[in-house]
Structures are given as structure tokens and as C-alpha cells.
Amino acid sequence: MEFGLSEDQTLLQETVRRFVAEQAPLDLIRKIAEGNADAKQTITTGMDELGLNGVVIPEELGGAGLGMLDAVLVQECLGYGIVPSGFLANVVASSTLSRVDTGLVQDIAAGEARFGIALNDLVSRRDGAGLSAESGELSGTSMMALSAEDATHLLVCDGEGKLHVCAPQDHQILLTIDRTRVFAELKLSKAKSHVSVTDGKGALARACLLLAADSLGVSQAMLDKAVEYAKERKQFGRVIGSFQAVKHLCAEMAAKIEPCRAFIWHAAHALDMDEDEASVMAFLAKAHMSDVATFVARTSTEVHGGMGFTDLVGLHYWFKRVGVNRQLLGSPAQLRQMAAVAQGLVAA
């Protein structure tokens, strides 16, 4: 049996790759990192036209009726171009709410509802932070919310691990090293919970897997950039790619990246099939991909030498995306601990 992509999945990935290459060049990403709202809207409009927010939404609700594996392929392409978008948040929200609030899911597919997600409290919580739910109302703060700055709805978790949908209230932008994305601290005061679900672990697993796919795309981009640079940069009268040491660096990056792709595909398939191991595989995929991406980011920068630190090459945008993805929704150590607890290998 061959486990690979179907013709439709290959076509989907090629379409998104072409969109990223044409509509999200590095110059546009620079403008977004500087806070240019019009530049970001260009990407949002383009993704709406492609119908990407409806990837995992059933056809009867206006979506494409695809699965997490397809969403992973899209996110990998977005990571390759370090594209800031609400895709991850909308996929997590729509897959979580598809059996609970079909009307809201239809709005996501139509581009009328845009979600921000705040799931970090499912993994760790800063002192004094956290949301409490009482009589259908949410109060408190939640850190590192993703895509909340222009969201019409929020998917948040309370102190008991239950998920809620509420309208945005006050938020404070948090500065991270990754300026291509916006993170926020949510501040809620008696915000009405419109929908309540208990699938906290499932939502977290899907978010972790999409972050892993994002880091996979970033890693592949950094490898491709290193190889391209090694073919052009000359030292001592020859291209540096001809030196065995540089060949080994590029080969080691490629050798570490390729198994991650199969790992992430398998975890996505497990989520689509609702297998018992699905959440564990998603947690472990992100943990492993984070370590590999960190190695690739460092090694690719080494291949570039001093140019790797300049804004002319722009490699630092990919480097910083790796650093934030590594910590977001759980560090590798935290996620491996959660996977071990889920398997009964260690006590909770």
C-alpha cells in the first residue's frame, strides 16, 4: 500500500504554493511586519477568493468537505512563505464547532465570521491569567491569542478546559520576535458564551498539528534558500556548495525534514479517522518538528554566513517564526509530557 497524496491534494498544494509565490512575496511580508494593514488585507482577500477557510467544513455547510490532511498541506504552503493569515484559527474553530453550531460554521465558510483562538491555557497559564465561566459569562484574561486583532468571534478555554465562543472585547497587542503575526492578551468581562463545547484536547491537537505543518513549511523554505545560496555564493574561486562541509550541512537538513512530513501526514490522517492515538500523534508531531525546525533554522543561517543575519536576505523572518512556533501551545518538553500522560506512561 502506498501512503501518498491524491491527485486532488497535489493540485490543492500546487494552487496554494502558486498563490503564496505570486501574492505574498517577501517585500509584502516586510510591509506586514511593519504594521501595514492594507498589505495584510491583500492576503486575506486572496485566501477568501480561494475558499481556503472552508477546507474542513462539510460541503452541505458551504465548505470544501476536506480533512485535516488537506488543511495541513495548505498550512505547510503558508509556512513556506511565512504568510500571516487567520487560516489556522478558522480551521480549528470550524472543525471544533461543525457538530455544534452549523450556522456559525457556514459563516466561516462564507468569510462572514473570522475567528481568533486562545488555547494556550490548555497547556500552561501565567500567574494571574485565565478565564472563569460563570452563569454563561466569561471573565478574566487569556494570553497569546492568535488572529484576535480582526476577529468577529473568539474560541477560548476556561479554567476547566472547556471551550467557549464569545464576541471580542478588549485586547492588548503582545510584541513577539515574530512580527509577521499578531498575538494578543484578551481581557473579558462578563462576555456571553454563545457556544460551549468540551472538546478542548481535540482543538488543541488540531492547532498543534497545524503549527507543526507551518514549521515544516518554514524548514523546507530555509533548506531551499540554503541550497540556492550555496550554488551562487563563491569563495576561493568556487561556489561554496562544492565544499564537502556545506554539502553535509544541507544533506543533514534534508534528512531531518523528510521524515517529519510523513509524521505530520500520519497525525493528520489519525485525526481525520478519529483514532484513539490522534491527539498523542499531533502533540508528538509538533514536539519533534519544533526540534527539527530549530536545527534547520540554525544550520541554514550558518550556510548563509554573515548574509544570514541581514534583512536583505530576510532569513530572520523564517528563523523567528520557528522560535515562536516552538513555544506556542506547548514547548517540546510540555507536549511530550502530555503525550506520555495520555498514554498512561506517567502519572498526570
Note the pLDDT tens digit of each residue in 219-262.
999 999 999 999 988 888 898 888 999 999 999 999 999 999 99
CATH code at 120? 2.40.110.10
Which residue blocks in the chain are alpha helix, DSSP H? 7-23, 26-33, 37-50, 68-80, 87-97, 102-110, 200-232, 244-272, 278-304, 315-327, 332-342
Asked if residue 313 belongs to a domain, the reply is yes
How far is Cα 25 from Cα 48, in angstroms, rounded to an integer? 18
What pairs with residue 313 in β-bridges?
A: none
Q: How confident is the model at residue 1 (pLDDT cuts 50, 70, 90)?
A: low
- The answer to whether residues 209 and 322 belong to one domain is yes
Asked if residue 347 belongs to a domain, the reply is no
Alpha-carbon separation of residue 311 from 19, 47, 101, 125, 141 (angstroms): 23, 27, 45, 34, 35
- Does pLDDT of 142 surpass 70? yes
Closest CA to 66 of 269, 210, 303: 269
- The answer to whether residues 255 and 298 belong to one domain is yes
- The answer to whether residues 181 and 70 belong to one domain is no
CATH code at 243? 1.20.140.10
- The answer to whether residues 124 and 206 belong to one domain is no
- What is the structure's pLDDT at 278? 94
List, for residues 292-327, the tens digit of each pLDDT value. Answer: 999 999 999 999 998 888 888 899 999 999 999 999
- 252 Cα distance to chain centroid: 24
List, for residues 60-81, the tens digit of each pLDDT value. Answer: 999 999 999 999 999 999 999 9
Tell me the residue range of the domain where 185 lies. Answer: 115-197
Asked if residue 150 belongs to a domain, the reply is yes
Q: Where do we find the cell 516586510? A: 30
Asked if residue 94 belongs to a domain, the reply is yes
Which of 197, 214, 239 is a domain's end point?
197
List, for residues 6-28, the tens digit of each pLDDT value. Answer: 899 999 999 999 999 999 999 99
Asked if residue 1 belongs to a domain, the reply is no
Which of 197, 214, 240 is a domain's end point?
197
Grid cell digits, residue 335? 507536549
Grid cell digits, residue 276? 484513539
Asked if residue 324 belongs to a domain, the reply is yes
List, for residues 191-222, the tens digit of each pLDDT value. Answer: 999 888 887 899 999 999 999 999 999 999 99
Q: What is the mean pLDDT of the chain?
A: 92
pTM over 0.85: yes
CATH code at 30? 1.10.540.10
Backbone phi, then psi, for 273, in 5-degree steps?
-90, 0
How far is Cα 125 from Cα 120, in angstroms, rounded to an integer? 7
- The answer to whether residues 13 and 90 belong to one domain is yes
**Rounded mean pLDDT of 171-190?**
92
Burial of 196 (C-beta count, 10 Å sphere; 0-12/13-18/19+)? middle
**Count of structural domains within the chain:** 3
- Does pLDDT of 2 surpass 80? no
- The answer to whether residues 103 and 178 belong to one domain is no
Q: How confident is the model at residue 127 (pLDDT cuts 50, 70, 90)?
A: confident
- The answer to whether residues 178 and 206 belong to one domain is no
Asked if residue 85 belongs to a domain, the reply is yes
- The answer to whether residues 336 and 206 belong to one domain is yes
- The answer to whether residues 215 and 304 belong to one domain is yes
Which of 78, 110, 142 is a domain's end point?
110
Asked if residue 234 belongs to a domain, the reply is yes
List, for residues 70-116, the tens digit of each pLDDT value. Answer: 999 999 999 999 998 899 999 999 999 988 888 999 999 998 999 99
Concatenate the DSSP letters of all residues of 182-204 into one string: -EEEEEEEEEE-SEEE--HHHHH
